[in-house]
Amino acid sequence: MDEPPVRYWLMGANEWRTGTDWPLPETQWTKYYLSHWETLSTEPPRPASELGAAAREPDVFTQMPVTRTTKVERLRYMTDPLPHDVTVAGPITLTLYAAIDQEDTNWIVVLKDVGPDVSVRTAREGERDVPSSLPERELTRGWLKASYRALDEKRSKPWEPFHKLTQDAIAPVKPGEVVEYRIQILATANQFKAGHRICLDITSMDVPDRHRRDDQCRVHSVSRLQQQDRDPQDLSGRRAAIASAAAHHPSTHRSAPGLTSAQRRSVTMTTIRFERDGAIGNIVLANPPFNRLDLRFAEALRVAVHQASESDIRVLVVRSEGPHFSFGGEVREWPGKDVNWFRTFVADVNVSYRAIEMLKIPTVAVVQGIAFGGGFELALACDFLVAADNAIFRCVEVTTAMLPIAGALQRIAERAGRARASRFAMLGEPISGREAGELGIATHVVPEKELAATAAALAKQLATGPTRSYAATRTLLKAWSSGGVAAADLVMLDVAMELYDGADAQRGFASTADAFNKDIEPPTLVFEGK
């Protein structure tokens, strides 16, 4: 027979092709890396010394047990839109470095073609057109149980890891320890059209089965670090990390290293709590690592603000647990809901944020890591914004064809000017903590290691200061924000007279008068909030 030894269907191009061997001799093996901001790139990730610690934090997801949810969480990595057609034909291998919080889990990796072209046909489906309702196509996938990661080096090939699937090869994972996994992704052939994206999903659960055991459901982490740059000692608690991931692919194969078909854990906001330490109150976003603002967020925040207002605290600190302040709204809960629901949701969020601004005490936001979207807006609702110099602020709403819905646009304009507000809101450009300080968006900017101490010192100073004076100052600023200098002038007399009769003001006058009589600088007083 004269038929070539290899014949394969090339999706995307929608044609049969032939080859002399498999993998194809003309294959150009390419490495893709899981990079920051969930991007897939041929460029190795840069070290934290160049990007900043926040940009190199491990990516994380948590999969709830199948007894509690049918939702599959995942991490998703995508390239930028391809500038030209890219053909991937052959086997794919993912090298993944990750930590989990139990002794075993499943790794499920899915390679996808994401793009607008709906003309693609598959031979298996009889060359049927893919419906336009499908914005992405699954091309292939790979699987590996973590405890079966041991390799048979003699039988393994660079593009095809061979695992020892025997009882004596089973090796439970030490929770929290970064482990290397080599995952075979079944061979595929696809032409990614210009403008499309190569996508890699990573998850720990396949199609949910309600009768399956839940012993593999909680997985933490996937990240994008290079192996030589990883430091497992940096991992803390349940924050798992992927220290490195690289994929080998064939041909013009822009396949991804990766974590695929995956469950990306929507770490939703289930916990907001109010705490107090003497005169200092704290509202804590307590669902790390991402502190996403889910559908219950507005109500939970209102409850916490109400608790704060009913207490006798003299300063309120808004902070978060984990490496990030907040990734913003849990957008994955929004699709399919009608405009009336969205109107109510936006109104509820704004009511809760404005409740913070209406308090009669000063407020402080403490921001580390990422503050995106609604998280950024929450920080802007406070009088003082104390930020780590490597923190990242961003109005991400433009990426969903929306606009900031809880005050970011107008509050950035108030602090940094209209031109900058337009720039950051319309272009979605990130703002570093250092830049936020230079622009007046943040009031205090310090190295991350000094963040907690700086915020604590500021809170203590405000808690022992003239509380009524602070409240009056906030009233004047609100009047100025709404009506300019003239509006502030109108209310100034009334708020000043209210202060004059207060115990703190009278003590302050007496102390200052005494200092003047002695020709010395007035001493610092600890006020009583009266």
The residue ranges of every structural domain in the chain are 24-122+133-249, 272-463, 467-517
Q: 320: closest CA among 277, 276, 275, 284?
A: 284
> What is the rounded CA–CA span in Å between residue 8 and residue 23?
11
> Model's pTM, two decimal places?
0.49
DSSP class of residue 326? B
- What are the tokens at 372? 């995106």
Give me the CATH topology for the region 272-463: 2-enoyl-CoA Hydratase; Chain A, domain 1 (3.90.226)
CA dist 300 → 29, 68, 266, 271 (Å): 51, 22, 18, 8
Per-residue pLDDT of the chain (530 residues; tens, 9 = 90+): 577 888 888 988 888 899 999 899 999 888 998 886 678 888 887 776 776 655 566 777 787 776 666 678 888 888 888 889 999 999 999 999 899 888 889 899 999 998 875 444 444 444 334 344 446 888 899 999 999 999 988 888 888 899 988 888 899 999 888 999 999 998 999 999 888 889 999 988 775 333 333 333 334 333 332 222 333 222 222 223 333 333 444 433 323 233 233 333 333 344 788 988 889 999 999 888 888 888 778 888 888 888 888 888 999 999 998 889 998 888 777 787 788 888 888 888 888 888 888 888 899 999 999 999 899 999 999 999 999 999 999 998 887 788 888 888 888 988 888 888 888 888 888 899 999 999 999 999 999 999 999 999 999 999 888 777 777 777 777 777 777 777 766 777 777 777 667 777 777 767 777 777 877 888 777 777 65
- Percent helix / strand / coil, the chain, rounded to 5: 30, 25, 45
Q: 65: closest CA among 249, 304, 265, 256?
A: 265
Give me the CATH topology for the region 24-122+133-249: Jelly Rolls (2.60.120)
Is-contact 202 181, C-beta < 8 A?
no
